[in-house]
Amino acid sequence: MIRTTFFIAAAALVVAGALWLAGRSGDVTLSGDGWQMGVPLPVFIFGVLIVAVIAALIYRFWRSVRRAPAATRAYVQRRDREKGYKALTQGMVAVAAGDAQEAARQAKRATSLLAEPPLTMLLSAQAAQLNGDENAANRYFTAMLDSDRFSRAPRASHAGSARRSRCPGSGVYPPRACAAAQDAVGPDHASRS
């Protein structure tokens, strides 16, 4: 409603200006170096407006060309992030279904697309668990603990200690790694395992 009102008011101003301009008489005289040119005032103002519109269009085109690399880079990053989260989700589904090969494939894909090491390391660790590679799972869990995201996060408290006892293979993995993994997926998921 407001846009329509604004458009009608702007159109009325343009029409009123054009009518006022058409009612004016007079010429604009341009002279220089032995030549002289007289142009009617309405034609001169119309010409100035046309030049201004063309200059604005050229500027917008130039600005869009300058911004194209950054816009393309942002698009590619957004697309890769979406593909990475899709791979992460499909990997978690594969882990839940017990498909070790698909989980490992999606973990590798998510790692290459996402800048979220703790999430991709968790998926990689779970895929390694499904494959029976306890050493690789241990490395991933330990690397998760060393990442910036977990080093800034508060460590598991007593609730984390209680969940740690339900960690599958808790004798194999470092207790801090097991607790961090369960904290990463949340208490609801950890209590189901």
| CA dist., res. 125 & res. 137, Å (int) | 4
- 129/150: higher pLDDT: 129
Write out 115-154 in H/E/C secondary structure: CCHHHHHHHHHHHHHHHCCHHHHHHHHHHHHHCHHHHHCC
**pLDDT for 72-117, tens place per residue?**
999 999 999 999 999 999 999 998 888 888 998 998 999 889 877 7
Contact 103, 94 (CB under 8 A): yes
Please give the domain boundaries of the chain with CATH numbers for all domains. 70-192 (1.25.40)
Would you tell me the crossing angle of helices 41-97 and 117-131 to the nearest 10 degrees?
30
Residue 185 vs residue 96, higher pLDDT:
96
- Nearest Cα to 98, choosing from 124, 126, 135, 133? 126
Q: How confident is the model at residue 144 (pLDDT cuts 50, 70, 90)?
A: confident
Res. 173 pLDDT band, cuts 50 70 90: low
- pLDDT for 180: 63
- What 3 state SS string does 153-182 have? CCCCCHHHHHHHCCCCCCCCCCHHHHHHHH
